[in-house]
Structure 1
């Protein structure tokens, strides 16, 4: 119970404060969108840039860590896609959108925040390694699968161009790429610059969590609740369970294993709805799943943290 109160609840209370502020109309949608844009376009890129620039790549960019997490994520994508098609009879484009919901866990706003609360800021290297390739892998899989499902593209070259265009316009991806350049080329950074970027980065997680609450206010629980329940089960149970099995098989160290499990156990991120909205398919189900899974993850993340503690992690 202390884990729930001391670690998990503060994160979700910040989300709840954002929801309540929007509910009471203390801030309108424009203000909430401004906070989210600041966090996603300025503060979080600063946080990621500095983290990747200072990351010990040889020690932390571990293929067994990434393999454990992304095998679970891709398994979740396939379970979401095939379940939507075969169990619920949804069209292939809808099925791809639902697969993206179970692929794109909220590695930044929930995974990073909860890992930091639970294990401290020095235990985040594994999170940053996962996050560094999260958007390229997830959007690459999602866009490619959607183009195949719609069968309306002009061919593989157009699909590749669309993926590259999406990546090069994403501030998170650009910040991560800049961090890799600084890290690999050993570019010196003045202490005053590091301190300034770090100061902005400290605002990233609380601002983003608060704004997430305001964004979630817009979505009402609606749509097919059976498929929403199925997608929540895949995201909150199947993905971390597969990651757990593989992480133990690959003998991940304690910090890597914690990072992989907490990130895998995080609810789908708001990008799941953005992807569905981009293609105009499955929007209600995607939005409802993000909302419901975020609420349920208060308990499921607590359960995974308790399991980690019981297993000696």
Structure 2
């Protein structure tokens, strides 16, 4: 439990720095704020993932945790879709946004620091990141483009898959994986700069998120409020419970089960909002769920830590 408190204290402190920078107009608009994201996405985060994966124990990368996470994601998204079909009756694209908000975990912006500070390693997050970008992102985009006549759905999905494979974070993870499984010794002149650069990833991302908070009005849209609350509840309560059930069924031992449940308790990925905003489907639903789960996840993780005696 102390690890979670320490980890979130670090995370929230850096978010607060971003908030203050926005309040005092050091970061004056979204264009300036997004520069931090771009630096992180194209340089710092790939460097961090490469060093984390390259220095990992292969047994962590190929652990049953990734299987449990995959099945948990499918089951959680299906749960939202069933509830939506019965009570909300939204179109396919908006329903897909809600399902993604319920099940697509923030394995990068929040997942990396939480994994490093809470689980003691970032190795469990790397395969989740790749799985989401290569498997689930194309599925989400396919649903979001179901009414887009400019390109066929197949072309949209293929573009998403190709883009995922060529993403800097995925390429860096793959490179780190090759180093890890082959036990290749990376020259110090390569590894040390990557380590230094990777150290900038988490602060950049968290400060950017903090700088976005002054312009956020949560639950202000009455038509979306019920969907937002449902997606939030599923994400922070149902998904960890589903992970625990599936992990227990698979016979995961305590440490692996704890890792699977903690990963399931991660907040909604900001990528979900990016997708929704791009295709103008379920934007408010995605935005508010990302915001709420980011802060409520702390209390859920503390509860999980207490249950597991950590």
Q: TM-score, normalised by structure 2?
A: 0.88
SS at match of 2:19: helix
Q: Which residue of 1 aligns with 2:18?
A: 18
Q: Which residue of 2 aligns with 1:199?
A: 196
Q: Distance in 2 between matches of 1:168 and 1:115?
A: 23
Report deviation, 1:241.
0.9
SS at match of 2:108: helix
Q: Which residue of 2 aligns with 1:166?
A: 163
Q: Distance in 1 between matches of 2:188 and 2:3?
A: 36
Q: Which residue of 2 aligns with 1:261?
A: 261
Q: Which residue of 2 aligns with 1:86?
A: 86
1:132-179 Cα distance to aligned partner (Å, 9 max, x none): 3232122032123334x4385865642442223321442212222332
Which among 175, 179, 196 is matched to residue 176 of structure 2? Answer: 179
Number of paired residues?
306
Q: Distance in 1 between matches of 2:232 and 2:154?
A: 34
Q: Is 1:69 the counterpart of 2:69 in the alignment?
A: yes
| Alpha carbons of structure 1 residues 157 and 294: separation in structure 2 relative to 1, 3 Å | closer
Q: TM-score, normalised by structure 1?
A: 0.87
Where does the alignment leave 5 or more consecutive residues of structure 1 unmatched? none
Work out whether residues 9 and 298 of structure 1, in 8 Å CA contact, stay in contact via their aligned partners in 2.
no
Q: Distance in 2 between matches of 1:158 and 1:124?
A: 34
The within-5 A match list for 1:209-248 is 209-221=206-218, 222-223=220-221, 224-248=224-248
Q: Which residue of 2 aligns with 1:40?
A: 41
Segment drifting more, 92-101 vs 293-302 = 293-302
SS at match of 1:52: helix
1:216-249 Cα distance to aligned partner (Å, 9 max, x none): 4333213222211101011111111111122223
Report deviation, 1:14.
1.9
SS at match of 1:124: coil
Q: Is 1:137 the counterpart of 2:138 in the alignment?
A: no
Q: Which residue of 1 aligns with 2:251?
A: 251
Report deviation, 1:17.
2.6
SS at match of 1:275: helix
Q: Distance in 1 between matches of 2:284 and 2:208?
A: 20
Work out whether residues 76 and 242 of structure 2, in 8 Å CA contact, stay in contact via their aligned partners in 1.
no
| Alpha carbons of structure 1 residues 165 and 127: separation in structure 2 relative to 1, 3 Å | closer
Q: Distance in 1 between matches of 2:129 and 2:253?
A: 18
Q: Which residue of 2 aligns with 1:297?
A: 297
Work out whether residues 104 and 269 of structure 1, in 8 Å CA contact, stay in contact via their aligned partners in 2.
yes
